[in-house]
Amino acid sequence: MATNYERGRAFEYRIKSLLEEDGWYCWRTPASKSPVDIIAVKNGKFIVVQAKAKSLVANRDKLQLKEFCELVKCKGFIAYKDRDRKLKVEEIK
Tell me the CATH number at 78: 3.40.1350.10
Instruction: Provide the percentage of residues in the chain whose pLDDT is more than 70.
Output: 99
Pair type for strands 87-92 and 75-81: antiparallel
Average model confidence (pLDDT) across the chain? 90
Number of domains in the chain: 1
pLDDT tens digits along 17-61: 999 999 999 999 987 678 899 999 999 999 999 998 777 778 888
CA angle at 14 for the pair 12 and 20, rounded to the nearest 5°: 100
Domain that holds residue 34: 4-92
Contact by Cβ (8 Å): 31, 64: no
Strand extents, DSSP E, the chain: 25-28, 38-42, 45-52, 75-81, 87-92
- What long-range pairs does 27-34 form, CB within 8 A, spacing at least 24? 34/68
